[in-house]
Amino acid sequence: MHAEIRIRTHTVVIDDAVERGGTDQGPNPPETFLGSMAGCLNIQMNCLARERGITMKNINLSIDADFGRRSVTWGKDVPLLFPLVRIAVTGKSDASRNKLAVLRRDMLRHCPMSQVLLEGGTRFRQKWVITAL
């Protein structure tokens, strides 16, 4: 059941758990989406910080989500795949609280994947623990 997706010079394996008929050779499509969104948010955060002259060090961005279980029932409509997405960011920065608040907001606005979820009704919660450089 697994799929090998070629993207430029990379191969990404997408599969499903054994109990759902897969071989567990890679993450399933929703997990792949969340991982891609985490990467997108991380890139956007760093690019926006650089453009704004904000120094960020030792940044760790993690993502977790509530999963709409009905969406994995075969033959059922998908109501909302991820009702809630939680983003945690830790690290160090020279930015003020206000600049970090704007960066936090704009990071979501600039990532196409988070935009898709926002427009679909997903809620986002962010927790940033950033200490001074």
Q: For the segment 39-98, what is each residue's pLDDT rounded down to a tens digit?
A: 999 999 999 999 999 999 999 999 999 987 655 555 566 677 899 999 999 999 999 999
For the cut 60, the answer to whether the pLDDT of residue 116 exceeds it is: yes
User: Residue 21: is its pLDDT beyond 90?
Assistant: no
Q: What is the mean pLDDT of residues 104-121?
A: 95
What radius of gyration do the chain's Cα atoms show?
17
Spell out the residues 6+ positions from residue 100 whose beta carbon is closer than 8 angstroms to its own: 54, 93, 128, 130
- Close Cβ partners of 30 (under 8 Å, ≥ 6 residues apart): 67, 71, 81, 82
Provide the pLDDT for residue 122. 94
In contact, 56 and 91? CB cutoff 8 Å: yes
Could you tell me the fold of the domain covering 28-132? GMP Synthetase; Chain A, domain 3 (3.30.300)
Average pLDDT over residues 103-117: 96
- The model's pTM: 0.87
